[in-house]
Structure 1
Amino acid sequence: MTSALLKQRRHKDYGFHLEYRTRWSDNDMYDHMNNSVYSFLFDSIINAYLIERCRLHPPTSPQIGLVIRSNADYFRPVGFPSIVDLGLRVNKLGKSSVTYEVGVFERGDEKISAVGGYTHVFVERETNRPAATGMPEEIRRGLEKISLDEKPKL
């Protein structure tokens, strides 16, 4: 997707939201949030959704999600002090994989500050190989609730 289209994203384009209050230590020497913090935020909302809505229990789950791709586009700086609203959606849902998109908005502003995300492949914890049956059904059902993939693969 092009940067011009991503810049048009709004809160309503995301099915799950999580608030984050920036910290002084999030800023870098350029007086805005460091790029590594965005990765932390993407990881936080994705895993919060998996734990809260898909009933994933990372320490004991027989399958785990491994990141095979990450990306980010930055449009407007965010810095301390601010409160950001993170929005999550699923752009593609495969048999064992899922591509997430995370939007970052400053509270009170409808213009998007950044868009990024990950692609997870769900694998067997013991072998690090995808399960023949794909991702667990409970995880799939949860992800379908925020999926915008027009033709999910089963």
Structure 2
Amino acid sequence: MALNALKARKRSDYKFVLEYRTRWSDNDMYHHLNNSVYYFLFDSVVNTYLIKHCSLHPPTSSQIGLVVHSHCDYFGPIEFPDIVDLALRVNKLGKSSVTYEIGVFVQGQEQVRAVGEFVHVFVDRKSRKPTKEGMAEELKMGLTEIVVERTRL
């Protein structure tokens, strides 16, 4: 995806939003959110959605999601005490895998500060391999709710 298209993202391009209040400890020595914090936030918004809307119960589910790819494009700083909106959508839903996109916005501001991508492959907890049936039906149904059709650039 072209960086200009990602920079132009709006909250309305996403279907699920989770609020996060930054902490003093999220800042790095340059007084903005440390890069590693963004990945913590991506993991948090994805797993919040999976638990609340896809019937996933991580401690006991027979399937687990393994992160096989992630990256982030940064467009502007965030710093404590900002409150941010973590906006989530699904760009691609396969039989066993899902590609999420996360937009990070400072509340009250329209400019996207970062856009991340996070890919899960859902596998059997014990074998760590995808099942023949793919991801569980409840999981797939919940993820379908936030799928966004991508347009070609």
With the length of structure 2 as denominator, give the TM-score of the two structures: 0.97
Number of corresponding residues: 150
CA distance in 2, matches of 1:50, 1:148: 17
CA distance in 2, matches of 1:41, 1:149: 24
Note the residue ranges of structure 1 that are not aligned, 5 or more in a row: none
Letter in 1 for 2:112: I
Q: Is the 8 A contact 1:101 1:117 kept in 2?
A: yes
CA distance in 2, matches of 1:69, 1:145: 22
Three-state SS of the structure 1 residue aligned to 2:29 is: coil
**Equivalent residue for 1:93?**
93
Provide the identity percentage.
Answer: 62
**Equivalent residue for 2:111?**
111
Three-state SS of the structure 1 residue aligned to 2:19 is: strand
CA distance in 1, matches of 2:111, 2:77: 11
Is 1:16–2:16 an aligned residue pair? yes
CA distance in 2, matches of 1:52, 1:115: 22
Is 1:43–2:38 an aligned residue pair? no
Alignment of 1:58-137 (within 5 A): 58-137=58-137
Three-state SS of the structure 1 residue aligned to 2:51 is: helix
**Equivalent residue for 2:3?**
3
**Equivalent residue for 2:141?**
141
Three-state SS of the structure 2 residue aligned to 1:114 is: strand
Q: Is the 8 A contact 1:93 1:149 kept in 2?
A: no
CA distance in 2, matches of 1:130, 1:42: 23
With the length of structure 1 as denominator, give the TM-score of the two structures: 0.96
